[in-house]
């Protein structure tokens, strides 16, 4: 090659491109990798999750325990799935998380691989018998930063048994606030819970009311279909009633779009409508339809440990990072 002939980099510049050759990168001494990109974070998450390690460059822990209620009276919108996977993702991000299963079906307990047979210390004992929260908490075997209060089938009759109880709607709130690891960083220290997730049944009964009185934040999972929007107005009316009469601290802080199918115009229209109405409350991350997310509970796992490389797991990881970074809303 003649010494006057342009190099590969010079030819790229002359063509108006901005690509660097391997020689350019070697000469500059810089790395071609950028660990701040979503793809790089995803790759890091997969490697660390498969070896049981926490994700690096995790978001900071909140100054106080954030009690987040996950509710939607419509079934099949991904409420329990979002609860367990966000909790698992936050624990992988270094947060200390407690999940309270308030659904008599016990699906969250199944996904987190904790025993919830009849007779197991559970949310029934917490609400009906007045047991202390410390006495009904169990460890999640897959994730060391995650604790669980399971739900048994006994919880199905709790609403009837609580009818005659004084202050029946605030029993969960009192139990959570009495726990020694719930509170501010100054009062409790580094051992505190960062997040308490309450998984509600698909109804607006007394169990869900207990959760709404106990929480400061509310997350609403919404399936990217028009049916999922129909009952949203009723749910928000219930939230306003609770705010007016029982819990002024409650606010809808997070809306998560689930089962998003990017191939359909319907999903895009629903997402656009939700974002137009709720603005920044809606997470930027949307959870796609994923077979792996649905398969994971059959193996008593969340998708975060079952298949950390799947699109569903990576979406929940990014959603959890958004929640942790966004922080609690100011009232």
**40-81 per-position pLDDT tens digit:** 666 665 666 555 555 667 889 999 999 999 999 888 899 999
d(CA 9, CA 11): 5
On average, the pLDDT of the chain sits at 86
Beta strand 217-223 with 195-199 is unpaired
Range list of H helices, the chain: 8-14, 22-28, 38-50, 79-92, 107-111, 123-127, 158-161, 171-177, 185-188, 206-214, 227-230, 232-245, 265-278, 291-295, 303-306, 311-326
- Which residue stretches of 93-231 are H helix? 107-111, 123-127, 158-161, 171-177, 185-188, 206-214, 227-230
Span 98-121, average pLDDT: 95
Looking only at the bridges linking them, the beta strands covering 97-101 and 146-149 are parallel
| pLDDT band per the 50, 70, 90 thresholds, residue 326 | confident
Torsion over CA of 128, 130, 132 and 135, rounded to 10 degrees?
Answer: -50
Q: Taking the mean position of all CA atoms in its chain, how far away is CA 192?
A: 18
Cβ neighbours around 79 below 10 Å, total: 27
Using alpha carbons, select from 165, 254, 176 the residue that is nearest to residue 213: 176
Of residues 36 and 244, which shows the higher confidence score?
Answer: 244
The percentage of the chain sitting over the pLDDT mark of 90, rounded to a whole number, equals 68
**Least confidently predicted of 159-173, 201-215, 316-330:** 316-330
């Amino acid at each position: 090659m003649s010494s006057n002939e342009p190099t590969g980099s010079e030819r790229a510049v002359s063509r108006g491109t901005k690509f660097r050759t391997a020689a350019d990168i070697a000469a500059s001494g810089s790395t071609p990798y950028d660990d701040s990109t979503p793809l790089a974070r995803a790759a890091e998450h997969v490697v660390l999750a498969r070896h049981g390690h926490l994700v690096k460059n995790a978001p900071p822990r909140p100054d106080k325990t954030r009690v987040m209620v996950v509710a939607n009276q419509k079934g099949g919108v991904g409420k329990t799935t979002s609860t367990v996977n966000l909790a698992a993702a936050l624990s992988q991000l270094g947060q200390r998380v407690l999940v309270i299963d308030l659904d008599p079906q016990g699906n969250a307990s199944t996904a987190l691989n904790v025993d919830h047979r009849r007779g197991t210390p559970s949310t029934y004992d917490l609400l009906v018998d007045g047991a202390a929260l410390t006495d009904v908490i169990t460890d999640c075997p897959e994730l060391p930063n995650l604790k669980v209060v399971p739900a048994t089938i006994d919880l199905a009759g709790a609403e009837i048994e609580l009818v005659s109880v004084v202050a029946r709607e605030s029993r969960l709130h009192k139990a959570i606030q009495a726990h020694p690891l719930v509170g501010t960083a100054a009062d409790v220290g580094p051992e505190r819970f960062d997040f308490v997730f309450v998984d509600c049944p698909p109804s607006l009964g007394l169990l869900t009311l207990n959760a709404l009185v106990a929480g400061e934040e509310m997350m609403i999972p919404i399936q990217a279909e028009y049916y999922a929007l129909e009952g949203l107005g009723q749910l928000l009316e219930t939230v306003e009633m609770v705010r007016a009469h029982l819990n002024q601290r409650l606010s809808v802080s997070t809306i998560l779009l689930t089962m998003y199918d990017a191939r359909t115009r319907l999903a895009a229209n629903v997402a656009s409508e939700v974002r137009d109405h709720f603005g920044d409350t809606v997470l930027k991350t949307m959870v796609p339809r994923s077979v792996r997310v649905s398969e994971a509970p059959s193996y008593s796992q969340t998708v975060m440990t079952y298949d950390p490389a799947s699109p569903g797991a990576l979406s929940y990881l990014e959603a959890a990072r958004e929640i942790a970074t966004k922080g609690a809303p100011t009232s």
